[in-house]
A and B are shown apart, each in its own frame.
Chain A
């Protein structure tokens, strides 16, 4: 198939075939990072602006490395150091960036739909590195890539995502991607953070960890934020860990060959214990490696798309 999109905004927009195409492309790029000279000229001469309106360390470094390995020219911008502080609108800021003849903007923003909004007004490509709780397509793609690599397939697998689902862009993107590739998806966590409305798109909703983990081939543990505790979503991280954390006892609910995943950064002994994070079921660090390959694939596809 031929890649035709100038932007990558959300997995909701993509077909199963397009997602598979990205995964296949990433497989090729994964090999680049295993060579002695970790560089290909795929984006040579192209300019990429990393515009992180919402701050990030890991995703930004991952995108930056991906861009460098593709030989692109890079500019990094952060909100605190931009004219947004002077009251310039987001649209004016990105139009000014576009006027510098850049080819791609990789953006993270705390407002859902911000990238979709600017993409309509820009002729250069936009890659969504996260927009509020709405979407984080490259994270879901790397999660799904990891699953496919380890399990040989995605269709028919039982994947459970545990945590603060309602506030999670990682959960949402994973849900769309996994459903489009034919996986069975379960979301689990406290009732205040895992609303029944997800059932309307064919996702199973569980407020009990044992039920959620039984028969799971993959479990993806999400980070719990302390702010949710002060906002009244759950009483304490202690109680959260007891009922929804992966520990020596709750691991027994899982099949022995189940994958344990986490988008990072992990709170050891909150979502999962240190032993499990470092244990044989964990693929957490491989997710990070795969993230680089996925981002190279995405940047290559949208960066080289025929206008």
Chain B
């Protein structure tokens, strides 16, 4: 591989507390290097641009195997690269589910062949995500999973959840939980609040999420283990997390770009690109989530990238599957909504997309120090553009952000020094 030097960029490297203009080299082995040490390097001038460690998304549905009409490892990782992500955690609700060593080995094999970014497998907590029997957690760890989740589903049997948390701790596997109490959520298609009442739709109350967040906090405290709350969406959830973290309980939370930007009022158009689980909540919930991002109650931004074919989504709102894609819009939407609106500055946004997720996964030292794998993203903070879903690398088009004017653009992404996306 040819050596190169990225010159004059604003280097934002949260892992080493760096935010200054400088040069970064990449050697022939695809590792970061001191520019002075490179004899034969091509120079890439990045004046006015920002360079940061590649983003990590801990919540991606690649749909492969099982629903390759919607997405494949090839297209999903191409979408990740276009969004600035160099590592993504693949959710296990594939068909078949990632609850056996065989499924994990298949994912490794498919990724080796087709993936353009790093795909980190996540194993199921329970067999078939059915919430009844513990999956072979120890073996899944040996096969290489980085975390456990039943995402899409939520274990309702608290006694079983407790055993899984205890067991997973001994294998050093963090738990990532989709927090949903089924009886409260039953039949709901949107947030239970003013808009579900005005529209005559069945609602999912905030309590459905908060009750499980509370249960998880109790187990994290009792067992002293790491539980990461996926797609936190309510003010009450943020409040519970804040109090628990203040005590030192090992709980973390993630927020999606759509929960930080959109509300339940959007549903009045009955556009299924606004239907997801957990649903878009009230403006009060959205503002509380933003406050949680600002005060580091929420340390991770994750997309919950959930591809669906046009056929699947082009139905009556009640019948549409939940989920929207997000890899290719995440950075720009968050830059516009959080950084331009001065909720957090750019280094902190980058933190929530790099060292924050790395911490959740137990990855230490995620930074651009010399010798480390050159996974990086180049951003143009001055760019302004209109999101056009027809340019997406993803196979799917189910996004609510089509046509949205945003600031800040990912212009280059590299994995192990190899450039996998360039504008």
Contacts and interface: CB of A to CB of B under 8 A. Distances in A.
Interface of A: 89-91, 109-114, 116-117, 132-135, 166-169, 172, 195, 197-198, 200-201
B270 A89 contact: no
Contact of B317 (A89, A111, A172, A200): A111
B110 interface: no
B194 A134 contact: no
Interface in B118-156: none
A182 to B, nearest CB: 19
Contacts of A168: 200
Contacts of A89: 311, 314-315
A110 B200 CA distance: 11
A128 to B, nearest CB: 12
B309 to A, nearest CB: 12
A135 to B, nearest CB: 7
B194 A112 contact: no
Nearest to A194: B197
Nearest to A91: B314
A119 B223 CA distance: 54
Interface string B304-335: 00000001001111110000000000000000
B318 A132 contact: yes
B197 A197 contact: yes
B203 to A, nearest CB: 10
A112 B311 contact: no
B386 interface: no
B393 to A, nearest CB: 27
A197 B199 CA distance: 11
B197 A109 contact: no
Given A111-B316, A117-B315, 20 more contacts: A89-B311, A89-B314, A90-B315, A110-B318, A111-B318, A111-B319, A112-B200, A112-B201, A114-B316, A116-B269, A117-B317, A132-B200, A133-B201, A134-B199, A135-B200, A167-B200, A172-B198, A197-B194, A197-B197, A200-B198
Nearest to B197: A197
A198 B317 contact: no
Contacts of A90: 315-316
Interface residues of B, number: 16
B188 interface: no
Given A113-B270, A134-B199, A172-B198, A197 B193 contact: yes
A90 B270 CA distance: 15
Contact of A112 (B197, B314, B315, B318): B318
B389 to A, nearest CB: 17
Contacts of A169: 200
A169 B197 CA distance: 11
Nearest to A201: B198
A198 B316 contact: no
A134 B314 contact: no
A112 B194 CA distance: 16
A178 to B, nearest CB: 15
B314 A132 contact: no
Contact of B197 (A91, A111, A114, A195): A195
A89 B198 CA distance: 27
B197 A166 contact: yes
Contacts of B193: 197
A91 B315 contact: yes
Counting chain A CB atoms within 10 Å of each CB, the highest count among B193, B197, B269 belongs to B197
Contacts of B317: 111-114, 117
Nearest to B312: A89
Contacts of B314: 89, 91
Counting chain A CB atoms within 10 Å of each CB, the highest count among B193, B199, B269, B314 belongs to B199
